Structure 1
Amino acid sequence: MIKKKRRTAQYERKNNLSKLLFRKIFLLSFLFLVYNQQIYAFFTNLENYSSLDKIDIYLQTIDTGNNIYDNFAHTALRIHDRNTGRDIVYNWGIFDFSDPISFSLKFYRGILNYKLGYYPYSRALAYYKLNARSVWQDKLNLKNKEKEILLSRINWNLLPKNREYAYHYFFDNCSTRIRDYLDEAISGQLKEETQYKITNESFRDMIRKGYETNPFVDVSLDILMNSRIDKKISLWEKMFHPFDLRKNLMSAGINLITPKTTQTLLDYPRLEPFPLSGYQIIFIYFSFFIFLSLSVYLYQKRKKIQNYHLSLFYRFLGIGCFPIACHASVTCLLMPITWIVSAHKDLHHNINIIAFLPFDFIFLLVSLTWITKGRPIRLKHNTHKWFKKLIVFHIIVSLSMLIMYALNLYDQNNSRLIYNLFPIYLISLILYFTYGSSVFIKKDISVQR
């Protein structure tokens, strides 16, 4: 009886604790929801600002970072209410990178959404300090009416249905959003001042500069992107880059930024460009191993060794050609697939597909055979003949692109490919033709009776 009462008391105590815990969780959830609603209303309601005379709006420019997506720097707006102490940074560069593979696939397909985020100024500065990125701040010279237009546009953008936008690296990013909103606030003066002033640079030139610290990304984009990025761009278009947005807001006739208002909030050493370009690295690597393989070949031939086609020659040859074959294999498959599945028109109708034919992955198998077995790949007689014809066809097609380039028959700027990578590919094709395959001879193992 006593045990039963104890069990009942323990059960009631646990039940009461569960109810109390549930009530606390419910209360905390309710308070969190109310608090978030209040915070959201505080950030998005224009009436929460005091007199516009007391509001300072700053352009913040953040230096490049260590990640690939940080190579083109960043920009944000800081809005400081001196009367209430409210100090918020608005950032149009928020994206979900929790799943890098999914993010990369969405970016590749051209269906990536970014969104507007907002947070206290102190938190933003702490984040960039943690990542060792310099931050420059410039006060914007805006009249009260212009401030009101800008704040109204930001409030509209903060609505849940408007916070996300379809990101585009050139035409709709963190920098162009601020450019467009400032232009709207000053009645289109910024666009009028800059849209017809054509620079001597193209988007391709700016990509090359942006990826000077990542030479292989530079090479890949230079090959994969087509003639759409080769036209000379205006000052208006150039402001997709945060540094150029800041520069043009300082120099444009509208005088939105005066140098005396500039502050360096954080100052860290800039990332230095890699001493060699991706093309130079490929050339040096290829030349070194081809030189080794030919040295072995000539040494054995000079010494009159009976079989001078020894495995060491083929292994050096394979090591030298393997990265070239890998790159060609990926590129030859990626280009046609990109035209079908990607919404990025900058990756379509690329003249470079002439240099990277869809069957280039075969050369990867040849290179692997050289490395692993120290000999040519063995093919049946007819297959061997077709392999040779395939390489001859590839050489002819590749040379046709060289002729078209010399005669200026296409608009795409692939001069770096022609001068740096094209000779290596031609030499590789000649090596594959000469040493890539041999005829497989089936041994007769029958026993004569």
Structure 2
Amino acid sequence: MKKYVFIFSLLCCFIINSTAQNKLSDKATVSVVTCGPGSELFTAFGHSAFRVYDPLIGFDKIYNYGTFDFNAPNFYLNFAKGKLTYFLSTTRFNYFLQVYRYENRWVKTQELNLTPNEVQAVFNFLEQNAKPENRDYQYDFFYDNCSTKIEEVLTTVLKDKIVFSNQHITTQKSHRDLIADYTKANYKWGKFGIDLALGSVIDDKATKDDYKFLPDYIFQAFNNASIQKNDHQEPLVKKTTTILNENNSKKETLFFQPLIVFILLSIGILFITFKNYKNQSRTKYLDFLLFFSTGIIGIVVLLLWFATSHTATYKNLNFLWAFAPNSIIAFYFLKSKIPTWLQFYILFLLLLLLGMGITWILKIQIFNSALLPFILALAVRYSYLSYRLN
């Protein structure tokens, strides 16, 4: 009997202790943490998180929705298929800061204008959400990421007490434009890859709420938001603090930018085509490489479109120049004498390039500008091949 009384007493102490640990003081605060871009592409857009700070009980924790596990089963396959699972992780604020100090990235906090009861409610939600059985979510770069989770959590807990006006957004940009704002200067190859992989769906105009997939816009949204206090509205942000100062991002070297590489490649194609025209010959290995490489790229584009769950890779019109059947047709060009029916195929490719130009001019899909010299060189080469076959 004494054994059961002892176990019951221990259990009661554990429950009381756990309850005490989850009770914040009246001095506790909730802040939105916004971090600047880093030197790598995956850090180019910055980061958002929550901070819960209670100076009286020595509690200072970060709640980070931008966490994923490289060691998770089938990580790379799930990443390629658009089924990557992210989760809410927690860590001490000073540990979190060490990472951003090492990466030379700025960090700002926005302390929210919440009552002690509201702070406790947000804290309880985050603690519950951070449990292993609740913490996972299906990541989406545009609609469900570390940044969009910030507003989602607060509106879930505080409901219609918070009002986001979005009046500070005066531009009308597409998702591709918003990405370019963060990549066109220092991540040119990254921007090229994004423009190649993502489809025309990201060229539609973004709504004001859509802007919030970027941490900078969540920061601005909170600065311009209000919260209901009794019978009046007050600013949602009580105080903004710069924790770490801004540092310059890493610059890419000029020579290896996509535009330079494609200009040099295009000059090579045009030079060989001119020599072929003068000698009435054909460099079959050039034709094989052009057809095979554009075909392989086209296969990847179509797989991203049809075989994955990525919402941003739909309707990718890069297939107009990277035509998947080219990967098979390429082997015909290794022969000294090629079938005459390929003339009609090449004319079809020229029509596709024309279609690409029209969709680009009409802004149905915006292609990476580095492609322009290469597309012109492809058109010249295809025209020469059609001439040879004719």
Code of the residue aligned with 1:391 in structure 2: it is I
Equivalent residue, structure 2, for 1:359: 325
Change (3 A) 1:334 1:148: same
Residue among 378, 385, 388 paired with 2:343: 388
Q: 2:377 aligns to what? A: 427
Aligned residues: 367
More helix by share: 1
Are 2:237 and 1:257 equivalent residues in the alignment? Answer: yes
Deviations 1:401-445 (A, max 9, x none): 434665x4xx7332x45x663563243243245369989xxxxxx
Alignment partner, residue 182 of structure 1: 154
* Larger RCO of the pair (alpha carbons < 8 Å, separation 6+): 2
Q: What does residue 3 of structure 1 align with?
A: none
Partner of 1:225: 198
Query: Structure 2 residue aligned with 1:286, among 258, 265, 268?
Result: 265
Per-residue deviation, 1:173: 0.9
- Give the SS at the match of 2:63: strand
Higher radius of gyration, 1 or 2: 1
User: Counterparts of 1:388 and 1:68 in 2: how far apart (Å)?
Assistant: 42
Cα distance, 1:288–1:80 mapped onto 2, change above 3 Å: same
- Structure 1 partner of 2:145: 173
Gaps of 5+ in 2: 1-13, 228-234
Q: Which amino acid aligns with 2:380?
A: I
2:340 partner SS = helix
Length-normalised TM-score, structure 2: 0.79
- State the AA in 2 paired with 1:268: N
Residue aligned with 1:222, SS: helix
Of 146-155 and 265-274, deviating more is: 265-274
Which aligned pairs between 1:274-353 and structure 2 lie closer than 5 A?
280-290=259-269, 293=272, 318=286, 328-353=294-319
User: Contact 1:194–1:236 at 8 Å: present in 2 too?
Assistant: yes
> 2:112 & 2:319 partners in 1: Cα distance?
47
Return the offset for 1:174: 0.9
What one-letter code is carried by the residue in structure 1 that aligns with 2:173? E
Distance, in Å, in 2 between the alignment partners of 1:136 and 1:192 is 20
User: How big is the shift at 1:90?
Assistant: 1.2
Q: Distance in 2 between matches of 1:330 and 1:77?
A: 43
Per the alignment, residue 96 of structure 1 pairs with 69
Which segments of 5 or more consecutive residues in structure 1 lack a partner in the other structure?
1-37, 302-307, 367-375, 440-449
Q: Deviations for 1:113-167, whole angstroms, at most 9, x for unmatched residues? A: 0111111122112222233332222322222232122112112202221111111
Does the 8 Å CA contact 1:203/1:233 hold for their aligned counterparts? yes
Q: 1:413 aligns with which of 365, 368, 379?
A: 365
Alignment of 1:60-99 (within 5 A): 60-98=33-71
Using the size of structure 1 for normalisation, the TM-score is: 0.69
Structure 1 residues 242, 398: CA separation in 2 closer, same or farther (over 3 Å shift)?
same
What residue in structure 2 maps to residue 126 of structure 1? 98
Aligned to 1:148: 120
- Give the letter for the 2:148 counterpart: T
Q: Is the 8 A contact 2:174 2:203 kept in 1?
A: yes
Q: Give the aligned partner of residue 87 of structure 2.
A: 115
In the alignment, the residues of structure 1 paired with residue 194 and residue 141 of structure 2 have an alpha-carbon distance, to the nearest angstrom, of 13
Amino acid at match of 1:340: F
Over residues 70-110 of structure 1, what are the superposed CA-to-partner deviations in whole Å (9 max), with x where a residue is unaligned?
222111112111111121111111111248x9534312211
Shift of 1:205: 0.9
SS at match of 1:239: helix
Tell me how large the CA RMSD over aligned residues is: 3.8
The letter of the residue matching 1:89 is I
